[in-house]
Chain A
Amino acid sequence: MPSLANPTRFLDLVGRIVPWLALATAALFGVGLYLALYVAPPDYQQGETVRIMFIHVPAAWIAMFGYTLIAIASLGTLIWRHPLADVAAKTAVPIGATFTFIALVTGSLWGKPMWGTYWVWDARLTSVLVLFLLYLGLMALWQAIDEPGRAGRAAAILALVGAINVPIIKFSVDWWNTLHQPASVFRAGGSTIDPSLLTPLFVMAVAFTLLFVLLHLLAMRAEILRRRVRAMQQSQVEHATVAGA
């Protein structure tokens, strides 16, 4: 969107949106948690532990949503040279990585009472783990390159290569999993999720999404300001050098 390409106007927009977004997020989490913890009935197979699903599944969705966002932003950096694209990509990485981490940990904590082990190499968890590794790679690459332009483009290339690979990796992990599937496999939530569980799940999913957007906008603002500060500090050094010369 051309109007958002101007960083100053973008910052303005962020400042105006954030309070409302924060309010909406808090409200949705309030409703979602109430539904998840009090209203939703215990599952016939899993008992109360189904309540972990209300965090685990939305977190996994956000993990994928985050990566998709990074991939689109990477296209913005490489193809359209949108000035805010690499800011969007850079700031989304740690946020997406955190939600992926949450998905992994809650998946593990869900697994222990259900399957008896803290980790199981089923297709979904394994795919989320690989996604986490992709996020870590992006973070490492951003950290390793000092010059922000080069870092942005390198991370964009890596993100796109990863994005192309994700469906292939998912396919191969699914195939691998059918080979090694234990005799009785617990399908999380059953093959169809009971409607009484759908509403809390949906509310939590929207709440998580708004939380991601909120954190992302704040992080983008901080990053834009950081770049301005750096530019001003640099011109400060230049003026001092010129004056002293």
Chain B
Amino acid sequence: MLNLGPHAVFIVAAYAVTFIAVAALMLFIIADDRHQRRLLAELERKGIRRRSAAAPATAPKQAARKRRA
């Protein structure tokens, strides 16, 4: 096993905090991503269309959306 010396608790704590922080961030982002995709699927199932989905997304449509944004 690793010998982390007399200050092992600090080394372990540092790696642990990092792991927890990264894991929390990852979980939060992935959960958010899944949540949005689920909401989107539900709305599309109900037949709600996005403005540009009604017609093929041509360049003028994109430009019009950009200008409005």
In the complex they form, whether A and B have CB atoms below 8 Å apart is answered with yes
Chain A residues with a Cβ under 8 A of chain B: 6, 8, 37-38, 42, 47-49, 51-52, 55-56, 59, 81, 83, 94-95, 98, 101-102, 105-106, 109-110, 112-113, 149, 211, 215, 218-219, 221-222, 225-226, 228-229, 231-233, 235-236, 239
Q: Is the CB of B5 within 8 A of A211?
A: no
**Residues of B contacting A83 in the complex (Cβ-Cβ under 8 angstroms):** 66, 69
Q: A105-B18, A219-B32, A225-B40 are in contact. List 10 more A-B contacts (CB 8 A).
A: A48-B5, A48-B8, A102-B22, A109-B13, A225-B37, A229-B43, A232-B43, A232-B44, A232-B50, A236-B48
Q: Is the CB of B10 within 8 A of A56?
A: no
Chain B interface residue count, CB cutoff 8 Å, equals: 38
Q: Known contacts being A48-B3, A228-B50, is A218 close to B43, with CB within 8 Å?
A: no
**Residues of B contacting A105 in the complex (Cβ-Cβ under 8 angstroms):** 14, 17-18, 21
Q: Of A37, A95, A112, A232, which contacts B10 at CB under 8 A? A: A112
Q: Which 7 A-B pairs rank lowest in CB-CB distance, beginning with the nearest?
A: A48-B5, A225-B36, A113-B7, A222-B33, A109-B14, A222-B32, A106-B14
CA distance A236 to B43 in the complex (A): 9
CA distance A173 to B18 in the complex (A): 27
Q: Is the CB of B14 within 8 A of A211?
A: no
Nearest CB on B from A203, distance (A): 15
Q: Mark B38-69, 1 if CB is under 8 A from A, else 0.
A: 01100110101111000001000010001001
Q: Is the CB of A94 within 8 A of B14?
A: no
Chain B residues with a Cβ under 8 A of chain A: 2-8, 10-11, 13-15, 17-18, 21-22, 25-26, 29-30, 32-33, 35-37, 39-40, 43-44, 46, 48-51, 57, 62, 66, 69
Q: Known contacts being A83-B66, A112-B10, is A219 close to B2, with CB within 8 Å?
A: no
Q: Is the CB of B11 within 8 A of A51?
A: yes
